[in-house]
Amino acid sequence: MSSIEDVLNIIQMIFSRYLLPICLFFGIFGNIFNIFIFLAKKFRSNSCSIYFLGTSFTNLFIIIFGIIPSISSSYITDPSLYLTWACKLKLYGLHSLLMISRTYVTLACLDQYFFSSVKPYLRRLSNTKFALKMLLIVPICWLIIPIHMLIFMNVQIPYVKCGTSGVYSLVYAIYSFLCSSTPLILMIIFSLLAFSNIRQINHRIVPAMNVANHIHMKKYDRQIILMLIFTVWIYFISNVLHPTNTLYMYLTVVPKGQ
């Protein structure tokens, strides 16, 4: 058993020291590149681009505060494994940032559904003023909602890990399941509805005098919706197993350990 653990520890150390720095570099570069793109004049007036801008900023913080500690932990002991305050802040901070990012992407999907709708009253719901308000409201909400993590998360002894224990393990498992699955479901629903709206718009008969403008709008909408669908799939692939795994770990591992 110890030999297997040693091999796993070596693999983890190699991954942390040599692969994570590459991910860190490309992650920071990619998000900074996105920020510069969405700050361009032609994108600033688009509400969906505002959500993408917020997502890029948030993902930049996630990469910095999520990957750098993982790299440093391969050289020195992670403080969150023995300091209570470090444990609480680490889990609370990363969770809040992840939920802010997920919420921005969900709002971007909803925005594109409104923007591409043939119904005027729905199209009016897609506007930059509302997007800018949500850019501020979303972080405030996700700094308040998971405050329970600051109270109940703790260093677990003798396991020497940062996490949950007792009844709160079940509460957190359910909470984590809802926080992970709900945004993903909403992303998929509204991105598919937006894509369907775009297809309907592309097949509509347009007067000859508006053909040039229609083609311009059609190309612009296609770029935004394709970018959004790609983002949703990335979130789906990287997050689909997390809520199920959280519940599975509680229902199998935790009861046996109690």
Residue 22: CB atoms within 10 Å: 9
Which positions ≥6 away from 60 have C-beta within 8 Å? 27, 28, 31, 32, 35
For 1-253, CATH gives 1.20.1070.10
Give the tokens for residue 21.
Answer: 């720095």
pLDDT score recorded for residue 236: 76
pLDDT score recorded for residue 130: 93
Residue 226 has pLDDT above 70, yes or no: yes
Residue 78 has pLDDT above 70, yes or no: yes
pLDDT score recorded for residue 257: 42
Residue 205 has pLDDT above 60, yes or no: no
Q: Which residue has the higher pLDDT, 15 or 155?
A: 155
Instruction: Write the pLDDT tens digit of every residue in 93-127.
Output: 999 999 999 999 999 999 989 988 888 888 888 89
pLDDT score recorded for residue 248: 59
Cα–Cα distance between 42 and 220 in angstroms, integer? 11
Amino acid at position 77, single letter: T
HSE of 214 in the Cβ direction (CA atoms, 13 Å)?
Answer: 13
Residue 190 has pLDDT above 50, yes or no: yes
Instruction: Write the pLDDT tens digit of every residue in 23-72.
Output: 889 889 999 998 998 888 777 788 888 999 999 999 999 999 888 888 88
Domain extents in the chain? 1-253
Helix intervals (H) in the chain: 2-14, 20-38, 41-44, 47-72, 84-115, 120-123, 128-144, 147-152, 167-202, 211-239, 241-257
Cα–Cα distance between 224 and 79 in angstroms, integer? 42
pLDDT score recorded for residue 255: 46
Q: Which residue has the higher pLDDT, 236 or 222?
A: 236
The closest alpha carbon to 58, from 93, 19, 89, belongs to: 93
Give the tokens for residue 166.
Answer: 């007792």
HSE of 217 in the Cβ direction (CA atoms, 13 Å)?
Answer: 12
pLDDT score recorded for residue 82: 85
Q: Which residue has the higher pLDDT, 135 or 1?
A: 135
Q: What is the mean pLDDT of the chain?
A: 81
Report yes or no: 248 and 210 within 8 Å, Cβ to Cβ: no
Q: Grade residue 242 by pLDDT with cuts at 50, 70 and 90.
A: low
